[in-house]
Amino acid sequence: MSTPATSHPRTAVITGGAGDLAQAIAAELQCAGFTVLAPGRAAMDVTCADSVRAFFATLTGLDLLINNAGVCCDASTLKMSEADFDHVVNVNLKGAFFTTQAAVKLMSRQRHGHIINIGSYSALSGPAGQANYAAAKAGLIGLTQSTAKEYGPRNIRANCILPGFLDTKMTRHLIEDAARKDDLLGSHVLGRLNSPQDAARFIAFLQSMENVSGQVFQLDSRIRRWS
């Protein structure tokens, strides 16, 4: 099914808009002709349903939602507080659920739209010290596939991107640790990492692939066993 013509300019919303990946995606989509809204927490708190509804109420149409808002609060399971577990799940997973709800209302009326969830390899590997983050990102894959199945008949797509370990404000402290960086690079068969711009280019390309939905795309060179 081809994407029907719309009466509004192509509009994209990127949550967690102040982040390095969000800014790279915004630049790439703007080059592709999108009007891009990249709200930070002050403009839209994804953990608050009322805040999400208020933001989306200002839109007359929506072509692309990118659920990029994310946070880490790493600790071993015994040392992880309930507050840190809840915070990570609320931002990474529940926030994506709230924005997806708001987006599909607009997209259903248009009979087209695309939701891209920014996942993580942690969802597949379950690293030590990331029970909250791994659980949230694994849930995001489930949310992606359920959304694709529910709303595919309305010409709404949903996909999940695992962009790889990126040099961003959230992870830079790990890359700057020489021992950790060596271990990290050693887990990649190519021995190198993506940049936010690399991931952004893939996302812009995926947006143009109108027949792709319900898929999970791992963008780095870590290799895992088939399940």
Per-residue pLDDT reduced to its tens digit, 4-41: 444 457 999 999 999 999 999 999 999 999 999 999 99
| pLDDT at site 185 | 87
Neighbours of 67 (CB within 10 A): 30
Residue range 56-65: mean pLDDT, rounded: 97
Neighbours of 2 (CB within 10 A): 8
Q: Is the pLDDT of residue 223 over 50?
A: yes
Residue range 113-139: mean pLDDT, rounded: 95
Rounded to whole angstroms, the Cα distance separating 189 from 218 reads: 14
pTM of the model: 0.91
Q: What percent of the chain has pLDDT over 90?
A: 80
Residue range 63-80: mean pLDDT, rounded: 95
> For residue 177, what are the contacts with CB-CB under 8 A and spacing of at least 6?
none
Residue range 122-146: mean pLDDT, rounded: 95
**What does DSSP say about strands 113-118 and 35-37: parallel, antiparallel, or unpaired?**
unpaired
Q: Which of 18-22, 43-47, 101-105, 222-226 has the lowest mean pLDDT?
A: 222-226
| Strand ranges of the sheet holding 216-218, from the earlier edge strand across to the other edge | 35-37, 11-14, 64-67, 113-118, 156-162, 216-218
Q: Which two tokens mark 121?
A: 């390899």
pLDDT-derived band at 227 (thresholds 50, 70, 90) equals low
Mean pLDDT rounded to a whole number for the chain: 92
Q: Is the pLDDT of residue 1 over 50?
A: no
In the chain, alpha helices (H)? 20-31, 49-56, 82-89, 95-110, 122-125, 131-151, 172-175, 178-186, 196-207
| pLDDT at site 89 | 98
| pLDDT at site 8 | 57
| pLDDT at site 182 | 82
Q: Is the pLDDT of residue 147 over 60?
A: yes
Q: Is the pLDDT of residue 106 over 70?
A: yes
Q: What is the pLDDT of residues 148-187, one digit of tens each?
A: 999 999 999 999 999 998 877 776 766 666 677 788 888 8
**What does DSSP say about strands 11-14 and 113-118: parallel, antiparallel, or unpaired?**
unpaired
Instruction: Give me the active site residues, please.
Output: 133
What are the structural domain ranges in the chain? 11-168+195-210
Rounded to whole angstroms, the Cα distance separating 58 from 92 reads: 23
What is the CATH superfamily name and number for domain 11-168+195-210?
Answer: NAD(P)-binding Rossmann-like Domain (3.40.50.720)
| pLDDT at site 224 | 83
